[in-house]
């Protein structure tokens, strides 16, 4: 063998060492480059040369340059980052939501209490216009605070919409980057070697994409990578992309939805299928947290305004007229009518509207008051309708669906169905959603506060028992106009010891004796809508007993029109009593009433609900962030650059390079010696 073989060995060794030095230097240079994977030169032994004395090695070949990559760790890091992004985004939004529901003097609960407390002075001085003006001022302040809170919720929703639009634009941009990288990678692989830097850039783009959506990837034989979101919806296939779009929810114009643009238009992606990422966090906040907060706020506004208006209608104002509404919803007085939202794809001509019902009517019919929920009605196309209670935009499994028809009263509202819906047509019912936004002060004249009761009751002058009037409840302010008043209530003994009956005696005569139970209201029949009333007697009155010796006339109570409404305060006391009344969220279940909460307790429940969500979201964020950080560390331990290791390798490869150079030097020296011998 000549010196050429030795020179070839040295040249190959020198090239291999140089390649290793170059790759190590590249690793050191990119130690802080995001997404860079440590590279390493793969060497292979060159095939030996056969001679009669055996095979002699021909040195080393540089096979390729590989990157330190682990598909499993890369996938896990992307998933963990996606979940952390979803939790963090929702937590940030909930923190802003919590600020809307203030505590102390800044809270709605305080404002509502101040409003009811203002009736204390009206009760003390019914004719004092200043005290009455304070009531209206407090009422206006309460309505303004509800409006402001609703406006802040709308602002939050607008922020969510804007963030979704920005996020979708980023997703589409990243999808285009991945598609372009797929093209470049496929072209580069045609040269026979892996394009490491391009692969790193694609992994980084997919990792960035995972911040917005949970993605799944499928590798193709040509080196391209397909990306899927939303349970199988393709985002990138080879060099082709399917753009996402953030658009107005076809079911609820106040919210945004995410869809894909296809040949037949936009197809909505269900929120749940997006699974994680900041877009999912925004959609979850929008569909659950923000909707629940809006409904709870609306339920509170409805509970206060409807009860106050109803109690106001039971009294007489300073002009001697029935009380008119203090609050209204929207521009018109009276029971608001709310139009249901029709799904954009409904094919029938049907429409649905809701009319809120008075608390008294609901109690009489044993129907629950307005709940903090949305509802959905689905038509079957043959005249049947199913009502679902929703939670986070989907039917709540805790509440069984029920069949409804036009005219039915459900949870505080009456359903009116018109037109002809087709099978599968859907309608979104939001009885409480807009209440806080539309609450207004309806009364402006302090004289119109109905502080007086339309009726008065007088105990008989000869009464001897312990019976007294516990409550006199009129069905309406026109109760004093009943044509048969005054009416006298008397008690009579029966054959059963301790058992009494009662009769009403008025201009029409004496009614049939009716059994009396202490503590139970005694109804006086109405001659027209709203002019009846009931009287509740506590204690033990003396009952008439004609057979006694001497005969006992019995105790009596006479109800008549209130002759002195200007100085009467009984309806003002009724308005004041609403402060501690169970106004919010009463539920009837199987004929049993589950009383609602007071205004203070209801607002405290809203604060607690939001607070629990904030704390849960923060805990979830801390956990998912820790998991994501650990996943990144695991990935970095596999693919990241360690400067200490690279420095050690640099010395090693430097020595290899010097040894290879020495080999060439020796080969040159031998060659020179041979030339000298030849001369």
pLDDT of residue 121: 93
The rounded distance, in Å, linking the Cα atoms of 346 and 488 is: 60
Which sign, positive or negative, has the C-alpha torsion 390, 395, 399, 400?
positive
Which residues does 444 contact at the CB level (< 8 Å), separation at least 6?
Answer: 136
Query: Looking at the domain assignment, is residue 312 inside a domain?
Result: no
221 in a structural domain: yes
Q: Are residues 87 and 62 in the same domain?
A: no
112 and 201 belong to one structural domain = yes
Q: Does residue 87 belong to any structural domain of this protein?
A: yes
pLDDT in tens, 558-611: 998 888 888 888 889 889 998 988 888 888 887 888 888 989 999 999 999 999
DSSP string, 328-389: EESSS-SS-EEEPEEPTT--S--EEEEEE--HHHHHHHT-----S--EEEEE-SSS-EEEEE
* Domain presence at residue 379: yes
Strand order in the sheet with 468-474: 468-474, 533-538, 522-524
Q: Which DSSP letter does residue 323 get?
A: P
* 23 and 93, same domain (yes or no): no
pTM for this prediction: 0.85
Helix (H) or strand (E) holding 402: strand 402-404
Domain boundaries, position 188:
74-287+601-624
Last residue within a domain, chosen from 509, 537, 561: 561
Question: Under DSSP, is residue 492 helix (H, G, I), strand (E, B) or coil?
Answer: strand
Burial of 97 (C-beta count, 10 Å sphere; 0-12/13-18/19+): buried
> Total domain count for the chain?
4
CB 249 within 8 A of CB 161: no
Measured at the CA of 154, the angle between CA 328 and CA 290, to 5 degrees, comes to 100
613 assigned to some structural domain:
yes
Peptide bond between residue 667 and the one before it cis (omega within 30 degrees of 0): no
DSSP string, 152-195: HHHHHHHHHHHHHHHHHHHHHHHHHHHHHHHHHHHHHHTTTS--
On the question of a cis peptide bond just before residue 643, with omega within 30 degrees of 0, the verdict is no
Q: Which helix (H) or strand (E) holds 216?
A: strand 216-219
What are the DSSP calls for 87-125, one per residue?
A: HHHHHHHHHHHHHHS--GGGSHHHHHHHHHHTHHHHHH-
Identify whether residues 644 and 511 lie together within a single domain: no
- Residues sharing a CB contact under 8 Å with residue 466, sequence separation 6 or more, in sequence order: 539, 540, 541
Mean pLDDT, the chain, rounded, equals 88
Residues 91, 217 within the same domain: yes
Q: CB of 35 within 8 A of CB of 639?
A: no
pLDDT at 630: 93
In terms of Cα–Cα distance, which of 630, 631, 634 is closest to 68?
A: 634
Residues 264 and 358 in one domain: no
- Token pair, residue 547, equals 């057979």
- Cβ distance 295 to 433 under 8 Å? yes
Q: Are 597 and 609 in contact (CB under 8 A)?
A: no
Domain endpoint, select from 561, 584, 614:
561
Classify the C-alpha dihedral 261-262-266-271 as positive or negative.
negative
User: CB neighbours of 612 closer than 8 A, spacing ≥ 6?
Assistant: none
Do 653 and 618 fall within a single domain?
no
Tokens coding 380: 């079957």
Asked whether residue 37 falls in the same domain as residue 89, the answer is no
Query: Is 283:375 a contact under the CB 8 Å cutoff?
Result: no
pLDDT digits (tens, 9 = 90+) for 369-428: 889 999 999 998 888 899 999 988 888 888 889 899 999 999 989 999 988 888 889 999
Token code pair at residue 128: 């004092």
The set of residues, in sequence order, having a beta carbon less than 8 Å from that of 170 and lying 6+ positions away, is: 212
Residue 148 has which token pair? 């402001």
Q: Are residues 90 and 35 in the same domain?
A: no
- Classified as helix, coil or strand, 485 is coil
SS3 label, residue 56: strand
121 and 246 assigned to the same domain: yes
Residue 519 lies in a domain: yes
Chain centroid to CA 364: 33
Q: 669 CB contacts (<8 Å, ≥6 apart)?
A: none
Extract the residue ranges of the chain whose pLDDT is less than 50.
none
Q: Annotate 234-262 with DSSP letters as a single string.
A: EEEETTEE--EEEEE-SS-TTSEEEEEEE
CB within 8 Å of 161: residues ≥ 6 apart: 246, 255, 256
Q: What is the pLDDT of residue 95?
A: 94
**Terminal Cα distance for the chain, rounded:** 21
Distance (Å, whole) CA 428 – CA 105:
36
96 and 164 within one domain: yes
Give a yes or no: residue 79 inside a domain: yes
Closest CA to 305 of 414, 438, 455: 438
Choose among 453, 467, 624, 616: nearest CA to 542: 467
Determine, yes or no, domain membership for 145: yes
Per-residue pLDDT at 297 = 94
* Dihedral angle of Cα 440, 443, 446, 447, to the nearest 10 degrees: -160
Q: In whole angstroms, how large is the CA radius of gyration of the chain? A: 41
> Are 266 and 409 within one domain?
no
Residue-wise pLDDT for 67-92, tens only, equals: 988 889 988 999 999 999 999 999 99
């Amino acid at each position: 063998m000549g010196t050429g073989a030795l020179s070839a060995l040295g040249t190959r060794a020198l090239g291999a060492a140089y390649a290793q030095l170059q790759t190590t230097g590249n690793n050191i240079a990119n130690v802080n480059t995001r997404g860079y994977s440590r590279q390493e030169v793969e060497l292979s032994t060159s095939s030996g040369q056969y001679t009669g004395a055996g095979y002699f090695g021909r040195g080393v070949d540089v096979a390729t340059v590989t990157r330190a990559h682990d598909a499993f760790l890369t996938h896990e890091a992307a998933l963990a980052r996606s979940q952390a992004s979803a939790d963090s985004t929702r937590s940030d939004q909930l923190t802003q939501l919590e600020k809307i529901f203030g505590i102390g003097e800044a809270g709605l609960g305080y404002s509502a209490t101040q409003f009811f407390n203002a009736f204390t002075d009206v009760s003390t001085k019914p004719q004092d216009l200043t005290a009455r003006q304070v009531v209206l001022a407090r009422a206006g302040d309460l309505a303004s605070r509800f409006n402001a809170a609703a406006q802040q919720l709308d602002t939050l929703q607008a922020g969510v919409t804007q963030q979704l639009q920005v996020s979708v634009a980023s997703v589409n941009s990243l999808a285009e980057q991945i598609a372009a990288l797929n093209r470049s990678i496929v072209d580069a692989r045609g040269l026979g070697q892996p394009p490491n830097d391009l692969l790193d850039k694609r992994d980084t783009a997919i990792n960035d994409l995972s911040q917005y959506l949970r993605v799944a990837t499928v590798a193709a034989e040509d080196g391209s990578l397909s990306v899927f979101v939303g349970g199988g919806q393709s985002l990138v296939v080879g060099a082709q992309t399917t753009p996402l779009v953030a658009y107005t929810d076809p079911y609820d114009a106040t919210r945004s939805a995410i869809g894909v643009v296809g040949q037949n238009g936009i197809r909505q992606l269900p929120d749940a299928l997006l699974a994680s990422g900041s877009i999912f966090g925004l959609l979850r906040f929008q569909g659950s947290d923000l909707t629940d907060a809006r409904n709870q706020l609306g339920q509170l506004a409805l509970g206060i305004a409807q009860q106050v208006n109803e109690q106001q209608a039971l009294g007489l104002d300073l002009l001697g007229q029935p009380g008119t509404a203090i609050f209204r919803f929207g521009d018109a007085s009276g029971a608001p009518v709310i139009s249901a939202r029709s799904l954009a794809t409904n094919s029938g001509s049907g429409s649905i509207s809701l009319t809120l019902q008075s608390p008294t009517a609901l109690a009489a019919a044993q129907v629950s008051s307005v709940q903090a929920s949305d509802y959905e009605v689905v038509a079957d196309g043959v005249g049947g309708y199913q009502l679902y209670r929703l939670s986070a935009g989907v039917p709540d499994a805790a509440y069984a669906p029920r069949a409804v028809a036009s005219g039915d009263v459900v949870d505080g509202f009456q359903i009116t169905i018109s037109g002809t819906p087709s099978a599968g047509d859907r309608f979104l019912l939001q009885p409480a959603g807009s209440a806080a936004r539309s609450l207004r002060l309806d009364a402006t004249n302090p004289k119109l506060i109905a502080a007086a009761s339309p009726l008065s009751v007088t105990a008989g002058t000869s009464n001897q028992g312990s019976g007294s009037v516990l409550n006199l409840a009129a069905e309406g302010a026109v109760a004093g106009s009943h044509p048969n008043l005054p009416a006298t209530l008397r008690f009579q003994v029966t054959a059963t010891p301790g058992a009494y009956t009662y009769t009403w005696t008025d201009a029409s005569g004496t009614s049939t004796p009716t059994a009396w139970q202490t503590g139970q209201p005694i109804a006086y029949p109405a001659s027209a809508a709203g002019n009846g009333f009931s009287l509740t007697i506590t204690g033990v009155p003396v009952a008439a007993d004609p057979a006694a010796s001497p005969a006992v006339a019995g105790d009596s109570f006479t109800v008549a029109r209130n002759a002195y409404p200007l100085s009467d305060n009984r309806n003002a006391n009724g308005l004041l009593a609403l402060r501690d009344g169970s106004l919010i969220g009463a539920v009837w279940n199987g004929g049993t009433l589950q009383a609602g909460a007071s205004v203070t307790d209801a607002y405290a429940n809203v604060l607690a609900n939001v607070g629990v969500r904030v704390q849960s979201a923060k805990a979830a964020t801390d956990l998912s962030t820790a998991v994501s950080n650990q996943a990144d560390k695991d990935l970095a331990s596999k693919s990241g650059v360690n400067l200490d290791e690279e420095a050690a390798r640099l010395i090693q490869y430097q020595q290899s390079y010097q040894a290879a150079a020495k080999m060439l030097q020796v080969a040159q020296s031998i060659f020179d010696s041979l030339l000298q011998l030849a001369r």
